[in-house]
């Protein structure tokens, strides 16, 4: 494997973890814990994003002492694939297009994570989303519907911001640096 990717992937996983923590410290209702994965994909393509996502998911499941989070691994692959499609179509050239791609990713990802939450976790995953699920359930929705509405709503907002963020970083990256990554210039609409 190219040394550049060996340097990039751990960095991007660490960015996922660290930004996730900053966001939760600020008490914001989003996660931003895939921004490193999306950035890695926009710099070096979907395969690098998939590896980043899977390594991150595996190690976070391990180090948090909650290996059941491994169940969300397919979600990481999906996010990297959509982030890669966005990169191939210059999706990070501006904030608006990044937000749209992010919303699309959030919709797809939210549905997939709803299926996983419902099937594996019976609706009880992380606090915020479960609270939403409980609210919809209390309003009279069935469990499957409540889980999907809760997780899709949260995911669309989160992924829209995540993609917008990754796009802003990509466009702020000096050309000299960006040009050393295989897809960065195209992804940010500079080529």
Which residues bind to another protein, rule: CB under 8 A?
1-4, 6-11, 13-15, 17-19, 21-23, 26-29, 32, 35, 39, 43, 51, 55-56, 59, 61-68, 70, 120-124, 127, 130, 133-134, 137-138, 143, 165, 168-169, 172-173, 175-180, 185
158 touches 31 (CB < 8 A):
yes
Q: How far is the CB of 189 from another protein (least distance, A)?
A: 14
19 touches 36 (CB < 8 A):
yes
Pick the closer one to another protein by CB: 108 or 146.
Answer: 146
Structure tokens at 187: 């992804």
Pick the closer one to another protein by CB: 88 or 175.
Answer: 175
Pick the closer one to another protein by CB: 84 or 123.
Answer: 123
List CB contacts of 129: < 8 A, sequence separation 6 or more: 117, 150, 151, 154
Q: How many helices (H) and strands (E) does the chain have?
A: 9, 0
């Amino acid at each position: 494997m190219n040394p550049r990717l060996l340097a990039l992937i751990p960095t991007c996983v660490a960015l996922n973890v660290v930004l996730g923590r900053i966001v939760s410290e600020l008490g914001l209702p989003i996660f931003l814990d895939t921004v490193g994965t999306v950035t890695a994909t926009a710099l070096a393509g979907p395969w690098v994003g998939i590896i980043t996502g899977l390594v991150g998911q595996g190690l976070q499941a391990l180090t948090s002492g909650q290996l059941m989070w491994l169940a969300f691994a397919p979600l990481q692959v999906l996010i990297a694939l959509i982030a890669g499609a966005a990169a191939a179509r210059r999706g990070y050239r501006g904030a608006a297009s990044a937000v749209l791609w992010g919303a699309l990713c959030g919709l797809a990802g939210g549905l997939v994570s709803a299926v996983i939450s419902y099937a594996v976790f019976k609706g009880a995953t992380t606090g915020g989303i479960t609270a939403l699920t409980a609210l919809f359930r209390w309003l009279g929705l069935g469990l499957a519907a409540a889980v999907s509405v809760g997780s899709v709503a949260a995911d669309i907002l989160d992924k829209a911001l995540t993609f917008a963020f990754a796009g802003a970083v990509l466009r702020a990256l000096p050309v000299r640096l960006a040009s050393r990554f295989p897809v960065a210039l195209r992804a940010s609409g500079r080529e």
